[in-house]
Amino acid sequence: MTNQKKWVASLSQLLIPLVALGLLLLFNLFRDPGFFSIQVAVNNSGNRVLTGNLISIIDSASELAIIAMGMTLVTAACGGQDISVGAVGAISGAVLVKVLQAFGGITLGTILVALVVACLATICFKLFNGTLVAVFKIQPMIATLILYSCGRSIAYWINGDATPQLSSPVVSAIGMTIPGIPIPTPIFLVLLVGLLLALVFRFTNISLYTQSVGINQGAARLNGINPVVIKLLSFVLLGVCVSVASLIGVCRLGQLNHKTLLVDIEMDAILAVAIGGNNLGGGKFKLSGSILGAYIIQMLTTTLYAMKVSPVNVKAYKAIVIIVIVVAGSPVVKEKLTQLWKRLRGGTAGARKEVG
Amino acid sequence: MKKILVLTLALIMALSCFTALAEGIKVGIINLDPSESGYRQANVKNLTDTFTAENGYDATFVTAPTADKQLEAANGFITDGVQYILVSAAETTGWDEVLEAANEAGIKVFLFDRMIDCDPSLYTAAVVSDMRQEGETAVAWLESLGLEEYNILHIQGQLGSAAQVGRSDPLTEKCEAEENWTIVREGTGGDSWDPNEARKIAEAAINAGESFNIVYAENDGMADGVVQALDAAGITHGVNGDVIIMGFDCNKWALEKLLAGEWNYDGQCSPFQAEVIDGMIKTLEAGGEIEGLNELNQIISVEKGFDATTITQEDIDNYGL
């Protein structure tokens, strides 16, 4: 493929999410231009912070965006989804808090150590999922159902305390804003994780291997790629993503609640992957699509709240819009649209089969 | 032969003595999930510390967050043939049938922490906080501030729970009665009194440009969630801030925020009912009568409300959970 063709192909996958995002932005522009206003304000701790709907959308979607990236990899390699990310996130948070309590004090150093420990613990749990999926060939949804249902209890065992509090300037610097920088820190963490993954893909063949395992395991194996290793690797990377997201979640509130930390995020993450135009059956993937998907979901929520839809009804309205986006991105509709496009452009061209 | 017989008999007697020792008063305790809040955690701990084998009890504990699981547990206790059932109900309604079945089986029922909507004859006694009183105290405190405008962000707890109803009603009634009291936005933290949900509701209200000067959150965790949203949006709060923060439960960390002037008010809700119930059961077992109940068979815990301008470290040590 030439560069131009490559570019067009990648754009066509992102077409639906980009159009959806554009429509949402347009809708808000007509509804209330003030939706986009961003202001600077000073909060209780004397920090200057940026406020406004756009900031709160990008900020609130951080955990989702990070987990969606990991979910994309697992989806691509295994052709299925990990539904235990929220529950394992709670475990990660519990380990994080446990380590911090063991240290006694909270400094940037202890938080980093705690994050590394939490990360290792999360990777262990994810490897458990990965082994069931890659070695025992259990359907990913069934394999991850185990931790989905018992993960939060495990989190509670690790840390008997119901809602341990973490109050420290470092915690609020991670969960909210660093003094002197008005942009919420979670946004930087999303960039950091995205950058790290991009670097990994740039300097290794993991991306290519993941795709080939997802498309055809047998063929990949014949070409010298070990599918088991690639699948496990995708779970390890997801584990890292989950830990970072859980750190954000804990620091945002400055407390750990096993029941509500990252609750229901697995469904939104899978949705983000789907909205991003990725095939949920595995194979080719695009991280940017999933990230876009995450922001679309959050934008939808914020828009509905801005329209004063009550929290109880938000989910129903959200579902309607999401059905439209997912159906618009489905292969059947896509094919019909392409045919229509060709007929409009070249009359007879639409009747001919495309030769790729 | 005789020797063996004597030995066996002695062994049996010794064993029966041992089992008799292990057999305490059979109690089934139904509570909510301890991870719900600091309040619940203190409450569960208080019960497990009181109803021990050393204290003469054979207690079974069930913690369930929803009404159906709780009812299931109650039915299980009735089949098991416990002598007493202690309940803190997730929902105020739907208990009549189970309580009647317990009565028929001769099981005495005690309510703790939360009331149930049923005939008072169905339970022996209720050791509860008067949630409505808590709400009224909070609203009276708010009124005493003498503000010109009361624009309130109201974050409710688990809808339908006694705590939510009791804390919400005085506020909504006041807002209906007074011209200058308005509820700008109302939301709920849901069944788990979720601080994150509270944060989202506050964020939505702020981004929609709704201005409020009072946050009335029905527990500490949710008040904290709102405060996070205020901090993120650069809105000041507390004693010298623009927005008044009100919470309930008196967690230690919440009272510390009061002392630091970041919050304004915290309403107490005592989680310590176990000793009172323990006393009543011991009285009944000794053949006595329970005294001091009101017409609804209740014993009401006495509770306070704390103001940020008057709270002391001593209060935190005494009343913090």
Q: Are B244 and B215 in contact (CB under 8 A)?
A: yes
Q: What is the pLDDT of residues B191-238, one digit of tens each?
A: 778 888 898 889 888 888 889 999 999 999 899 999 989 988 889 999
In this structure, the answer to whether residues A216 and A325 fall within a common structural domain is: no
The neighbouring-strand residues paired with B245 are: B215
Q: What is the pLDDT of residues B118-159, one digit of tens each?
A: 899 999 999 988 889 999 999 999 999 999 999 999 999 988
Is residue A252, in this structure, part of any structural domain at all?
Answer: yes
Residue A35 distance to chain B (closest CA, Å): 8
In this structure, the answer to whether residues A259 and A325 fall within a common structural domain is: no
pLDDT category of residue B318 using cuts at 50, 70 and 90: confident
Six-digit token string for B183: 């509820």
CB contact under 8 A, A44 and B237: yes
Q: Are B153 and B129 in contact (CB under 8 A)?
A: no
Six-digit token string for B290: 């329970």
| HSE-up (13 A, CA, CB side) for residue A190 | 26
Q: Quick check: B18 pLDDT over 80?
A: no
In this structure, the answer to whether residues A274 and A338 fall within a common structural domain is: no
Q: Are B258 and A206 in contact (CB under 8 A)?
A: no
Range of the domain at A285: 33-308
Report, as ranges of residue numbers, the positions in chain A whose pLDDT lies below 50. Answer: 1, 349-351, 353-356
Whether A101 contacts chain B with CB within 8 A: no
Is residue A238, in this structure, part of any structural domain at all?
Answer: yes
Q: Which of residues 177-196 of B touch A (CB under 8 A)?
A: 187-188, 192, 194-196
Q: Are A190 and A125 in contact (CB under 8 A)?
A: no
The whole-number pLDDT of residue A62 equals 96
B132-270+305-319 fold = Rossmann fold (3.40.50)
In this structure, the answer to whether residues A304 and A335 fall within a common structural domain is: no
Taking the C-alpha atoms of residue A293 and residue A275, their distance in angstroms, rounded to an integer, is 5
CB contact under 8 A, A45 and B35: no
Is residue A20, in this structure, part of any structural domain at all?
Answer: no
Best probe of the B interface among A305, A315, A317, by most B CBs < 10 A, is A305
CB contact under 8 A, B232 and A52: no
Six-digit token string for B17: 């003595």
At a CB cut-off of 8 Å and minimum separation 6, what does A176 contact?
A49, A184, A185, A251, A252, B228, B231, B232
Q: Quick check: B85 pLDDT over 80?
A: yes
At a CB cut-off of 8 Å and minimum separation 6, what does B311 contact?
B255, B258, B259
- The torsion of the CA quartet A179, A183, A188, A189, rounded to 10 degrees, works out to 70
**Separation of first and last alpha carbons in chain A:** 10
B35 contact residues in A (CB cutoff 8 A): 156, 162-163, 257-259
From A39, which residue of chain B is nearest by alpha-carbon distance? B233
Taking the C-alpha atoms of residue B309 and residue A324, their distance in angstroms, rounded to an integer, is 54
The whole-number pLDDT of residue B11 equals 67
Domain ranges of chain B: 2-129+271-301, 132-270+305-319
Task: Name the residue facing B231 among A39, A43, A311 (closest C-beta).
Answer: A43
In this structure, the answer to whether residues A273 and A188 fall within a common structural domain is: yes
Is residue A172, in this structure, part of any structural domain at all?
Answer: yes
What is the residue type of A225?
A: I
In this structure, the answer to whether residues A246 and A175 fall within a common structural domain is: yes
Instruction: Please provide the DSSP assignment of A321-341 as one string.
Output: HHHHHHHHTSHHHHHHHHHHH
Number of domains in chain A: 2
What is the residue type of A237?
A: L
DSSP code at position B108: E
Q: What is the pLDDT of residues B41-61, one digit of tens each?
A: 889 989 999 999 999 999 999
In this structure, the answer to whether residues A276 and A327 fall within a common structural domain is: no
Helix (H) or strand (E) holding B105: none
The whole-number pLDDT of residue B197 equals 84
pTM: 0.81
What is the residue type of B242?
A: D
Classify A72 in phi/psi space as left (phi over 0), alpha (psi -120 to 50) or beta.
alpha
Is residue A21, in this structure, part of any structural domain at all?
Answer: no
What is the residue type of A99?
A: V
The neighbouring-strand residues paired with B129 are: B301
Q: Are A69 and A52 in contact (CB under 8 A)?
A: no
Nearest to A290 by CA among A278, A299, A302: A278
Taking the C-alpha atoms of residue A49 and residue B231, their distance in angstroms, rounded to an integer, is 9
Does CATH place domain B2-129+271-301 in 3.40.50.2300? Answer: yes
The whole-number pLDDT of residue A356 equals 41
What angle in degrees, to the nearest 10, is found between the helix axes of A140-158 and A108-134? 150
Is there a common fold for B2-129+271-301 and B132-270+305-319? yes
Determine how many CB atoms are found less than 10 A away from the CB of residue B75: 14
From A44, which residue of chain B is nearest by alpha-carbon distance? B236
Q: Which of residues 138-157 of A touch B (CB under 8 A)?
A: 156
The whole-number pLDDT of residue A330 equals 81
The whole-number pLDDT of residue A74 equals 96
Scanning B23-144, the segments in alpha helix (DSSP H) are: 38-50, 67-80, 96-104, 131-144
